[in-house]
Chain A
């Protein structure tokens, strides 16, 4: 009521509309903070639930991304190995190389002499003794074919089939097969993480929504009094929206911490795996941007849950 003239002993009257609005927001935020700390155990559990629910898909997603990054680095251009029939001579193989070099889609062809190949193999495997025991070289001549960069996936398969059909060719091995498999595996992992995220997000909204429903019930008389003495729906709603926002925000932060902790634990097994593929170590770490995204998602989910809960339950509380 702005009925008191300014200068009166009881004050100058209400603030402007905007100042009041800001003041109400500040008050609601502060009250929500206080309540969150006052019920620290319950708040912590809720924050934990949100943290875990967001950390799981986040972890899956970042693992898949790390894997894909590594695969992308591996992408030395895919290579096909042509193993010739044993009776094919070096010269015949060299002629085939010349022909292949002229084919479209092929960048480079390298000829590997069978004797060189055996020497390399025994040397790298530490089996020099075997070389002496073997009377004859069991390996055929072979060609390493480097396709042009624009030849990928289906094109590579077609090339493999075409090369297999050439006379004198015993077998064609597409070396990037395992890469493709690994790639589609990480793609699957990514998709799973996204699906998991939506399931978890729905869980968060329902859990937090229910927590807030209880909070609204617990403050029923306060809401009634507020409505009776001239507080609008927005005024009654605001503390709950802030509670949702704050809980979601802290939940996102918790998700970040949990992801970081999990990354620390997973670091050595992942690097061991990468070592098997001759890959350098990676640091699985939590980037600031990831943390901000998690906090953003948590806050959004928190606010959404609060909104849904408030719309559903606050309107039902009417003064009698």
Chain B
């Protein structure tokens, strides 16, 4: 699904978190979102996930204007997304398997399908042998990979990651980014918010740089071809 931001603004009281933001992401693109903390990365993702509504302008996802989605339609809209959190947000009271299965259970897949898909997703992130483990017994990198498995298990159209490598060492970070690139290569639109410039500038994807709520550069599409 493609994502279009058209002159989007978001105000919190007197402060502009985002101003006049315009960019387009064609379906199947992978892009990085970067900028200092407070530059508006999180706000942008929150608007995209309809955790907040825009103050001005409009966001169009897959041809649909988000302004037209009512509160009751938000859960369904979010099922098009896979979300990877910085602190992975795994539920500690259930096994790796059941954490990954959660989006499928919400979407109503049969047990057999849940089983297949969970195993496939865990296999992709290299954790098939840990499906019975409790999340707390895993290392940071493994936990993040479980989070990624959960984000992709329902085959989302758009994958969003908010600082997914924030707590990981460079080598693990590179592995995680490699996973995202792999999902992108099968047609999933991927947006990764990260301030790890050293890492993302090595990758052949567009970088959107935010500064104080405005888009500084749309580009650096070097290597896209």
Report the separation of the CA atoms of residues A11 and B117 in the bound assembly, to the nearest whole angstrom. 7
Question: With A1-B157, A15-B108 as given contacts, are A229 and B102 in contact (CB-CB < 8 Å)?
Answer: yes
A173 within 8 A of B: no
Q: Quick check: A1 and B89 within 8 Å, CB to CB?
A: no
Interface centre among B108, B156, B157 (most CB of A within 10 A): B108
A14 and B107 contact, Cβ closer than 8 Å, known pairs A228-B49, A319-B51? yes
Interface stretch of the complex, out of A72-80, A91-99, A177-185, A218-226: A218-226
Could you tell me if B109 and A14 are in contact, using CB atoms closer than 8 angstroms?
yes
CB within 8 A of A228: which of B78, B80, B110, B116? Answer: B78
Complex CA gap A13/B72 in Å reads 23
Within 8 Å CB of B107, what residues of A? 1-2, 14, 20, 230
A226–B150 Cα distance when bound, in Å, is: 12
B178 to chain A, nearest CB (A): 22
Interface string of A1-29 (1 = CB under 8 A from B): 11110000111111101011001100100
A217-248 residues at the B interface, CB under 8 angstroms: 221-222, 224-233, 235
Q: Does B106 contact A (CB under 8 A)?
A: yes
Contacting B113 at CB < 8 Å: which of A10, A221, A224? Answer: A10
- State whether the Cβ of B161 lies closer than 8 Å to any Cβ in chain A: no
**How many residues of B are counted as interface, with CB atoms below 8 angstroms from the partner's CB atoms?**
33
Q: Is B113 touching A27 in the complex (CB atoms < 8 A)?
A: no
B68 at the interface (CB under 8 A from A): no
Nearest CB of B to A238, in Å:
11
Q: Which residues of A contact B112 (CB under 8 A)?
A: 11
A160–B142 Cα gap in the complex (Å)?
A: 94
Measured CB to CB, the nearest residue on chain B to A2 is B107
- Residues of B63-99 contacting chain A, CB below 8 A: 72, 75-81, 83, 89, 91, 93
Collect the chain B residues with CB atoms within 8 Å of residue A24's CB.
Answer: 105, 108
Q: Cβ of A14 and Cβ of B49 under 8 Å apart?
A: no
Q: Does B120 contact A (CB under 8 A)?
A: yes
Cβ contact within 8 Å between B79 and A1: yes
Contact with A11, one of B79, B106, B113, B156 (Cβ below 8 angstroms): B113
Chain B residues in 8 Å Cβ range of A231: 75, 106
Interface centre among A1, A2, A232 (most CB of B within 10 A): A1
8 A-B pairs within 8 Å (CB atoms) are namely: A1-B107, A9-B116, A10-B116, A10-B120, A11-B112, A11-B114, A24-B108, A228-B49
* Chain A contacts to B: CB under 8 angstroms: 1-4, 9-15, 17, 19-20, 23-24, 27, 221-222, 224-233, 235, 318-320
Beyond the given pairs A225-B91, A228-B78, 4 more chain A to chain B contacts, judged by CB atoms under 8 angstroms and listed by A's residue number, are: A1-B154, A1-B157, A13-B109, A232-B76
